[in-house]
């Protein structure tokens, strides 16, 4: 294990699964747009972003399996766990809704991940530093692409503006969960592996703020945010997503292409 010796295998595995689950679940959500996007360019762009996320998930699951040391590989971690064993943020599992909702969700997640990947490029864990160096380049494109759509829709027609404002309101309760900290995240931060999520909010705001200003959007404050994803407490949407995602492996265990 290349990480600092001050952190346990269990803690590092828990952290890796959080990141991997975020990327797998959101990647699957984006892939649902394939063949249904509003224009051909997006029918190519959205699956490509999904492939970026799923590729990052694969790297993280592979590493998690090695650190865990229980013989589980990336497929077993991705496809053979129960719903309550997934620890993705709730924002990632939300149903796609309309195009505005999907683009804003992607923009928020990328704006959170970019400073995290940038910080992890100097991680004390060499394996994670390598994953971060590749992922940071990919997430920069996600920010640019999704951010342009936030502006285009927010400052567009009356209908597109209405839909983007509705997306801001719908996603507002899910933003703060991204920055929650607990024993796992604090231990990882103390070991120099990854930053504490609470420290990433200023960088997130610095990315989102100018885009919202250009789009004519206002931030929506919500007194009671949604939380629980990191503890395995999810909405019913994740159960339906996993039923589709896991069907082949559960029906034909060990199946490969």
Mean pLDDT of 107-133: 98
Looking at the domain assignment, is residue 257 inside a domain? no
Looking at the domain assignment, is residue 97 inside a domain? yes
Range of the domain at 189: 9-251
Looking at the domain assignment, is residue 99 inside a domain? yes
Q: Give the span between the Cα atoms of 175 and 162, in whole angstroms.
A: 20
Specify the CATH number for the domain of residue 69: 1.20.1260.10
Looking at the domain assignment, is residue 29 inside a domain? yes
Average pLDDT, the chain: 94
Given this model, what pLDDT does residue 38 score? 84
Alpha-carbon dihedral 35, 39, 44, 48, rounded to 10 degrees: -90
Looking at the domain assignment, is residue 201 inside a domain? yes
- For the whole model, what pTM was predicted? 0.95
Name every residue whose Cβ is closer than 8 Å to that of residue 138 and which is 6 or more positions away in sequence.
52, 56
Given this model, what pLDDT does residue 5 score? 56
Alpha-carbon dihedral 171, 177, 178, 180, rounded to 10 degrees: 160
Q: To 5 degrees, how large is the angle CA 42–CA 45–CA 51?
A: 140
Q: Give the span between the Cα atoms of 108 and 171, in whole angstroms.
A: 9
- State the residue for tokens 């200023």: 202
C-beta separation of 82 from 232 below 8 A? no
Q: Is pLDDT above 80 for 3? A: no
Looking at the domain assignment, is residue 2 inside a domain? no
Looking at the domain assignment, is residue 64 inside a domain? yes
Give the pLDDT band (50/70/90) at residue 2: very low
Q: Is pLDDT above 60 for 167? A: yes
Given this model, what pLDDT does residue 255 score? 80
Looking at the domain assignment, is residue 173 inside a domain? yes
- Number of domains composing the chain: 1
């Amino acid at each position: 294990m290349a990480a600092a010796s001050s952190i346990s295998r269990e803690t590092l595995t828990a952290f890796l699964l959080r990141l991997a689950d975020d990327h797998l679940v959101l990647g699957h959500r984006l892939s649902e747009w394939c063949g249904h996007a509003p224009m051909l360019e997006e029918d190519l762009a959205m699956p490509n972003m999904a492939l970026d996320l799923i590729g990052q998930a694969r790297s993280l699951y592979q590493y998690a399996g090695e650190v865990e040391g229980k013989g589980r590989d990336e497929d077993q971690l991705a496809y053979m766990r129960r719903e309550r064993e997934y620890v993705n943020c709730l924002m990632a599992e939300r149903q796609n809704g309309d195009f505005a909702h999907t683009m804003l969700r992607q923009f928020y997640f990328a704006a959170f991940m970019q400073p995290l990947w940038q910080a992890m490029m100097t991680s004390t864990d060499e394996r994670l530093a390598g994953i971060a160096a590749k992922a940071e380049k990919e997430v920069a494109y996600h920010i640019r692409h999704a951010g342009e759509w936030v502006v285009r829709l927010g400052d567009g027609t009356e209908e597109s503006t209405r839909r983007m404002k509705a997306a801001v309101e719908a996603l507002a309760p899910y933003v703060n969960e991204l920055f929650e900290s607990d024993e796992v995240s604090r231990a990882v931060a103390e070991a120099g592996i990854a930053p504490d999520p609470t420290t990433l909010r200023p960088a997130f705001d610095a990315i989102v703020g100018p885009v919202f200003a250009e789009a004519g959007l206002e931030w929506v404050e919500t007194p009671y945010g949604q939380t629980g994803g990191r503890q395995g407490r999810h909405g019913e949407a994740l159960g339906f997503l996993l039923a589709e995602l896991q069907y082949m492996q559960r029906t034909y265990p060990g199946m490969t292409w």
